[in-house]
Structure 1
Amino acid sequence: MPKTAARRAAVGAVLALAVVGAVTACEGQPVAAPAAGPVVVAIGDATSVPPPPAEQPVQAQQPPTQAQTVLITFPQTGSGQWMFTPGSDQVAGTQGRLMRYRIALETDIDGVGPAEFAKDIRTILGDPRGWTGGGEWRLQQVGPDDSADFTIYLATPASRDKLCGGTPDSYTSCRNGSNVVLNVARWANAVPNYGAPLALYRQYMVTHETGHRLGHGHELCPGAGKPAPVMEQQTLGLHGCVPNPWPFPDGRSYAGPSGEYNDPIPEGTS
């Protein structure tokens, strides 16, 4: 979707970059997060957002599908301005505590339509193999003006670093307080040698970071050849396990031993 069309499709609201909360849970090592609050600026139309400074975009091409090849482009450093998507009446899950979330995309990202992205997020979080599968949680996407328990951001690498707090790496995604931050570089490219389709990696990154917001810590591979627990840091290494994006892959809870590996974070942002 062209950038201007994407902006018109978004709700007219912009969020200045801020960090919310005091705990960061990333696929990198845990770090302390600075305390700050959000500054919300309402505007009449998302198309009135001033364009970011000119910068050579990073290009990432998704694997071709039967329908088309989608090109996602984004700068290393985005504007820090956000397009929020409308809410939905859909509630995922039938029992448990209701957690409401908002969805925001950084305005510099092209090739990711806000409506399509929001649908992808709802589909992943609404999958019965996901966090609603155990009956502990229900999940609902709400609009930018509604009360929410967390916000899911699709962010450029530098904005990822600001939202996540702590030591920047521009590579991983994270959860920082009520921010669930998805690095667009990972959404576009996944990670090398993951051994699974891009769609499965996206399911993993959304479910993993949302799992942190729901109170889950990192876990270890339970044995060579077994599915990786969704809370294993699969972006940094599988350690003999095979990719798995779900906490309830067969309708039953699946987890590994608590802990994390001292895997290095790759350099670069692609």
Structure 2
Amino acid sequence: MALLGVAGLAAVEWTSAKRGGTAAGSGPATEPGSPSTTAPARPLPPSDPSSPAASPSPSLSPSPSARPEIPATGPGTFTVAPGSGPKVGRSTALRYRVDVEDGIDLSAPDVAEQVENVLADRRGWTADGRSAFRRVSSGPTDFVVKVATAGTVDKICGQYGLDTGGEVNCNVAKNVMVNLKRWLLATPVYAKDVKAYRALIINHEVGHFLGHGHVGCPGPGKPAPTMMQQIKGMSGCAPNVWPYDEQGRYLTGPAVP
């Protein structure tokens, strides 16, 4: 992604409010965006400032003096995040699992909590009124979020003809593949809010799973759609990691190949 700075990151601050109830920057080796209908605007409850997902990311920004060691490849085996979560959304829930590759310094329960928070956010895919999710650790699943080393991501995505180049994420079949490098370092635009970028990864790749294709920037200064390949550059759009805005309006742009 181009080095564009972090101006406008206020647009993506982590003010999550849960609701009860494919390569490159992602895609089929990127991030989602087919013709989706815009949900009608509706009043939304204020965010809960006491929620851990309601404040800016506690994640430390990578710096030249304190960069995590990121293995280039791993064993290709995974640890399943234990337990399950509540259903979010109003429709029949898609069951998903969270797996973390063995041998990397990530807590599977912590990763699962972050994924749950993203999918439960009122600005996420449940705002379409049709999508619902529930995390499980056993039994049948509709999709699996897998955080893995670049080598493992490349291997799994490559089995479906996608070239992730050791750098990006993808959605192939039931697999939402998250590149460990992107999970830990984000991209230059989001380097000061890595946790926000994690939300973009999940929303983009799950968006692909839901059938959304890539879109472009709708105009200078406008929020970048989740289904835009932001890792390739912002094209004048302001940083944004959510599919919907606070008023429940779908954020999209012109379709791109």
Q: TM-score range by the shorter chain?
A: 0.7 to 0.9
Contact 1:27 1:174 in 2 (8 A): yes
Aligned mate of 1:139, from 126, 133, 141: 133
**Greater per-residue strand proportion:** 1
Per the alignment, residue 258 of structure 1 pairs with 255
Per the alignment, residue 108 of structure 1 pairs with 103
Per the alignment, residue 148 of structure 1 pairs with 141
Contact 2:27 2:169 in 1 (8 A): no
Contact 1:62 1:189 in 2 (8 A): no
Change (3 A) 1:186 1:86: same
Question: Shift in Å at residue 235 of structure 1?
Answer: 1.4
Q: Which structure 2 segments of 5+ residues have no match?
A: 1-21, 30-58
Q: Which structure 1 segments of 5+ residues have no match?
A: 1-24, 33-60, 65-69, 261-270
Q: Distance in 1 between matches of 2:235 and 2:256?
A: 13
**1:8-157 mapped onto 2 (5 Å cutoff):** 25-27=22-24, 62-63=60-61, 72-93=68-89, 95-110=90-105, 112-143=106-137, 145-157=138-150
After TM superposition, what 4+ stretches of structure 1 lie above 3 angstroms from structure 2? Answer: 28-32, 70-74, 193-196
Change (3 A) 1:196 1:218: farther
> How many equivalent residue pairs?
200
Q: Distance in 2 between matches of 1:152 and 1:31?
A: 14
TM-score by length of 2: 0.72
Q: Whose radius of gyration is greater, 1 or 2?
A: 1
Contact 1:99 1:149 in 2 (8 A): yes
The residue type equivalent to 2:151 in the other structure is A
- Percent identity, aligned pairs only, is 38
Higher RCO by CA contacts (8 Å cutoff, separation 6 or greater): 2
The residue type equivalent to 2:61 in the other structure is P
The residue type equivalent to 1:103 in the other structure is V
Question: Shift in Å at residue 131 of structure 1?
Answer: 0.3
1:90 match: secondary structure = coil
Change (3 A) 1:81 1:259: same
Q: Distance in 1 between matches of 2:192 and 2:221?
A: 14
Q: Distance in 1 between matches of 2:28 and 2:193?
A: 30
Contact 1:175 1:213 in 2 (8 A): yes
Per the alignment, residue 199 of structure 2 pairs with 203
